[in-house]
Structure 1
Amino acid sequence: MRKTGVLLAVVLTTALALIAIALTGTVSFHGGNLTCAFAVVEIKNGTFEPGEVYIFKNATVVWINRGPDEHSICVGGDMSPPLMAGESYTKNFHEFGSYNYYCRYHPDERGSIIVR
């Protein structure tokens, strides 16, 4: 039952991401980098994928733990609760800039969000 719930959450999160992009039409390329209004970062195999994300101001990023280990997201002074397998954390970015983030349990797991 738990695996079904996790799978359903992943499918719904992905579907919402695709719907948000389709409805807003806010996807563009800048200097070879895709910039969008919604981004999904997967935590798996000891890394954040993609490791660098370009988004618009007021956009949303969702991190999803795809691995078996517990993870967390520390970004811009905020810290997520512990994320177990299949769980996610969502953050909106309202200011331009570059935001580095990491996992508090695995400090070598790092990534960045660039808000344009």
Structure 2
Amino acid sequence: MTALLLDRRQLLLGGAALLAIGGPARAEASTVRITVEKLAFVPEEITVRAGDTIEWVNKDPFAHTATVKGGWEVAIPPGKTGTRVAAAGDDIEYYCRFHPNMKGRIVVSA
């Protein structure tokens, strides 16, 4: 029984030490920007992690969308931004509903 208590105490002290020094490294969510300009998504393909925010910045004088067929759509007004938080399984191709020749791809890494 004494050995069990000692093991628990060591485990608690070890955990407290990790918390004191910041714990194990943890990746923070970030924002990945895509510029919409001259009827193109730049860059055309991005790789993000689940939880990252994707932000489309529209520099064109007209509206665009980031549309997934049968899925979601983000409106991107002229001179404004549109955002979406990447989810696991979001490996998709998207396009602008108003300008179907505009295409992009999002890959979600583990």
TM-score by length of 1: 0.63
Q: Distance in 2 between matches of 1:72 and 1:57?
A: 21
Q: Which has the larger radius of gyration?
A: 2
Q: Distance in 2 between matches of 1:48 and 1:75?
A: 14
The DSSP-based 3-state class of the residue aligned with 2:52 is: strand
Gaps of 5+ in 2: 1-25
Runs of 4+ off more than 2 Å? none
Structure 2 residue 56 is the aligned partner of structure 1 residue 66: no
- Match of 1:79? 73
Gaps of 5+ in 1: 1-24, 28-35
More strand by share: 1
Identity of aligned residues (%): 25
Q: CA deviation at 1:72?
A: 1.2
Q: CA deviation at 1:37?
A: 3.2
AA matched with 1:107: P
Q: CA deviation at 1:48?
A: 0.2
- Match of 1:46? 39
- Match of 1:37? 30
The DSSP-based 3-state class of the residue aligned with 2:64 is: coil
Q: CA deviation at 1:84?
A: 2.7
Q: Distance in 1 between matches of 2:63 and 2:74?
A: 12
AA matched with 1:80: V
How many residues are paired up? 84
Structure 2 residue 88 is the aligned partner of structure 1 residue 101: no
TM-score by length of 2: 0.66
